[in-house]
Structure 1
């Protein structure tokens, strides 16, 4: 298991694009997330979103997006400026199973506090068929908030984590 304190999260940099373009996902995960290369242009163009690169040492091994505004609100029953959505966590399949995703989700609160000072909580959506991701988020301290209809992909859990629990 990887040390959670050693997992750097950095705002996405163009220098990360080549590694993120080479990121591979297991086929079973492809319907639950997106490849970073497909997300980066829209995240970079959205002033309410922040792409976050996940590093293992000096290697870029994953990516996710933190979003406020419209990209956050589309998952909520009503707009809520206190929340920040975590979207599209992807860890290279060659690096999975080492705790990298869990470490990144534990540290996402610090990045959210720095870039979204109005936020009081993080939330994310996980498909109820995606047991692997659910375990990652549970380990990172996310808890059930509500269930939403996921359309063609089926029901989804919306999980939440308060930012206050991180303050020391």
Structure 2
């Protein structure tokens, strides 16, 4: 199953070659477009998804961003420092359908606890027309929290997963 690791420049070439199905392009962003702004934002962490896809060990096959601060709060009705947003999940189309996205989203809480110790929950926004992505997130333990009208591609669901045991780390 995949490994989640903070983005490093060594991942850039592989992530720049990541391909998305045309139907998904309206719902997410390519990593190469996100990496510069994420690296410049002290409240965000770029995350590379590594998986063993039959090459020489694990290779970058996906990317997403974890955000606190303004990038988190723009999706919420009011700012909430207890939350961390998952943004712009992208899995290379050649690796989709193998459970990599679901397993990566299942592993997010551990990574969030390590890098955002104040967090009590993680959340993400999924377009209401993107039924496939919603199923992936539901399989990984995320549940619809509320709906919102925002988004250039139409209505969205905000999905949330509690970080069980977050207070036990203190």
> How is 1:12-27 mapped onto 2 (pairs within 5 angstroms)?
12-27=7-22
Following TM superposition, by how much is the alpha carbon of 1:152 offset from its aligned partner in structure 2, in angstroms?
3.5
* TM-score (normalizing by structure 2): 0.93
Show structure 2 runs of 5+ residues with no match. Answer: 53-57
Q: Distance in 2 between matches of 1:152 and 1:62?
A: 23
Count of residue correspondences: 163
Q: Which residue of structure 2 aligns with residue 3 of structure 1?
A: none
Equivalents in 2 of 1:165, 1:130: separation in Å? 31
> What's the CA shift for 1:40?
0.3
Q: Does 1:38 find its partner at 2:33?
A: yes
Contact 1:127 1:150 in 2 (8 A): no
Shift of 1:93: 0.1
Partner of 1:113: 113
1:88-107 residue pairs with structure 2 within 5 A? Answer: 88-107=88-107
With structure 1 as the length reference, what TM-score do the two structures score? 0.94
State the partner residue of 1:152: 152
The alignment's C-alpha RMSD in Å is 1.5
Q: Which segment is superposed worse, 100-109 or 145-154?
A: 145-154
Q: SS of the residue aligned with 1:164?
A: coil
What is the SS of the residue equivalent to 1:138? helix
Secondary structure at the aligned position of 2:106 is classed as: helix
